[in-house]
């Protein structure tokens, strides 16, 4: 992706001042706690995603930032000003809703201009700013079209232009690409990030789509049951999940239960009865012998062969139980002697219609010991 994170990753600088700061933010609906005392620091120019399943509290959090929902407890600052008690129209934010909510009787340019006209901005300035914004989102040729005459992706860009034309300090986006089909969604992710990069506005995106969060974001907060369970860059969240929940929620992963047999010298030996073998994992911390742990292994980190690995490295035998061909890659589900199904994805680098492996083939799986991750919870 062409956009980059804010200069020098400010979240790593203890002296950096957050642009959006949340402290102890809580929202209760009767006995139910939707958002549970969360703290968060977002920096100027970030494209920050809050990622979680339906009902985890992410949209309620966004609505509190917008002023559409009053917090039960906690405080919110934007650009150094506390906004916790301010109504939506006094906050330097705008919100783009999942439905886009375009006025059907207005043209594209009238939709985009609506907020400025309502505020009494002079007509000449409205005309200039609308023209600039339509050029930015590449909708100039459709300026006179009505919403019914344009595509879903174009409607999404109209909603984005309308939200950005008032020059908010923060743009809040609630599942912004959910209404688009897969191919259009992938294309629009790049467009959205490019617009954000060019304008430098801080974006906070709420989504349940892991791929969307990974593609768009400078950082991601994974949310579960009203709390943040991990905050990090897409690479950190994917490669170093801090719990079984995060590992399982973000991308495909094999979770192998086991027991620690030894832990010394930066390595742990784990007995995995599910694989009927021992697995060596790099691990810097100390773990007691007998501790129950989980070995996490991404499908793309595993190599699949018909022959045992020549280097005698870590690995396991199995039988191809299921397979799927996706063109660019093949996905294999391999049943191990212990009965565990292990998923393996292999890149299809050569152009050939015949598959290298078929159902019921005996195979050997191997991986680098640095590719596996040990999770204690």
Instruction: Judge whether 192 and 204 are in contact, CB under 8 Å.
Output: no
In order along its 377 residues, the chain shows pLDDT tens digits of 434 555 568 898 889 999 999 999 999 999 999 999 999 999 999 999 999 999 999 999 999 999 999 999 999 999 999 999 999 989 999 988 777 788 999 999 999 999 899 888 899 999 999 998 898 888 999 999 999 999 888 888 898 889 888 889 999 998 877 767 677 777 777 778 778 888 888 999 999 989 889 988 999 999 999 999 999 999 999 999 999 999 999 989 999 999 999 988 888 999 998 888 888 898 888 889 999 999 999 999 999 988 887 766 657 899 999 988 888 888 999 999 888 999 999 888 766 655 678 888 899 998 888 899 999 87
- CATH number at 252-375: 2.40.50.140
The rounded distance, in Å, linking the Cα atoms of 279 and 270 is: 5
Q: What is the pLDDT of residue 22?
A: 97
Q: What is the pLDDT of residue 152?
A: 82
Domain locations along the chain = 10-248, 252-375
Which CATH number is correct for 10-248, 3.50.50.60, 3.30.1330.10, 1.10.760.10, 3.40.50.300? 3.40.50.300
Q: Mind giving me the DSSP string for 126-183?
A: HHHHHHHHHHHTT-GGGTT--GGGS-HHHHHHHHHHHHHTT--SEEEEESTTTTS-HH
- DSSP annotation of 16 reads P
The rounded distance, in Å, linking the Cα atoms of 243 and 232 is: 13
Tell me the CB-side half-sphere exposure of residue 43, using CA atoms within 13 A.
Answer: 17
Angle at 327 between CA 180 and CA 217, to 5 degrees: 45
Q: What is the pLDDT of residue 204?
A: 95
CA distances from 193 to 1, 44, 48, 173 (A): 8, 15, 11, 12
Q: What is the pLDDT of residue 196?
A: 82
- DSSP annotation of 98 reads T
Q: What is the pLDDT of residue 195?
A: 81
The rounded distance, in Å, linking the Cα atoms of 306 and 285 is: 35
The rounded distance, in Å, linking the Cα atoms of 357 and 318 is: 13
Instruction: Judge whether 316 and 336 are in contact, CB under 8 Å.
Output: yes
Q: Do domains 10-248 and 252-375 have the same CATH topology?
A: no
325 pairs with which residues across the strands? Answer: 330
Instruction: Judge whether 297 and 337 are in contact, CB under 8 Å.
Output: no
Task: Specify the residue for token string 């050997």.
Answer: 364
Q: What is the pLDDT of residue 188?
A: 75
Residue 51 tokens, joined: 């990622």
């Amino acid at each position: 992706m062409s956009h980059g994170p804010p200069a020098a990753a400010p979240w790593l600088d203890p002296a950096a001042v957050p642009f959006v700061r949340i402290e102890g933010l809580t929202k209760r609906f009767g006995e139910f706690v939707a958002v549970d005392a969360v703290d968060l620091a977002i920096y100027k120019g970030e494209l920050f995603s809050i990622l979680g399943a339906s009902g985890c509290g992410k949209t309620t959090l966004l609505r509190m930032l917008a002023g559409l929902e009053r917090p039960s407890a906690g405080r919110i600052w934007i650009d150094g000003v506390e906004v916790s008690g301010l109504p939506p129209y006094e906050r330097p934010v705008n919100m783009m809703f999942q439905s886009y909510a375009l006025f059907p009787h207005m043209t594209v340019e009238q939709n985009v201009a609506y907020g400025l006209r309502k505020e009494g901005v002079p007509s000449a300035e409205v005309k200039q700013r609308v023209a600039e914004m339509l050029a930015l989102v590449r909708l100039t040729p459709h300026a006179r079209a009505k919403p019914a005459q344009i595509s879903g992706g174009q409607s999404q860009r109209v909603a984005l232009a309308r939200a950005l034309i008032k020059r908010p300090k923060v743009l809040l986006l609630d599942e912004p690409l959910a209404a688009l089909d897969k191919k259009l969604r992938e294309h629009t992710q790049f467009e959205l990030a490019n617009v954000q990069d060019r304008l430098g506005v801080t974006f906070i995106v709420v989504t349940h789509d892991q791929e969307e969060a990974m593609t768009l974001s400078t950082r991601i907060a994974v949310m579960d049951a009203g709390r943040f369970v991990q905050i990090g860059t897409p690479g950190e969240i994917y490669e170093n999940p801090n719990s079984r929940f995060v590992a399982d929620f973000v991308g495909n992963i094999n979770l192998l239960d086991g027991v620690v047999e030894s832990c010394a010298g930066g390595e742990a030996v784990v007995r995995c009865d599910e694989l009927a073998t021992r697995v060596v994992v790099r691990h810097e911390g100390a773990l007691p012998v007998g501790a129950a742990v989980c070995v996490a292994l991404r499908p793309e980190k595993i190599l699949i062969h018909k022959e045992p690995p020549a280097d005698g490295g870590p690995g396991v035998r199995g039988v191809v139980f299921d397979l799927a061909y996706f063109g660019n890659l093949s996905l294999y589900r391999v049943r191990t002697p212990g009965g565990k199904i292990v998923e393996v994805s292999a890149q299809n680098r050569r152009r050939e219609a015949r598959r290298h492996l078929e159902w019921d083939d005996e195979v050997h799986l191997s991986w680098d010991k640095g590719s596996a991750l040990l999770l204690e919870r």
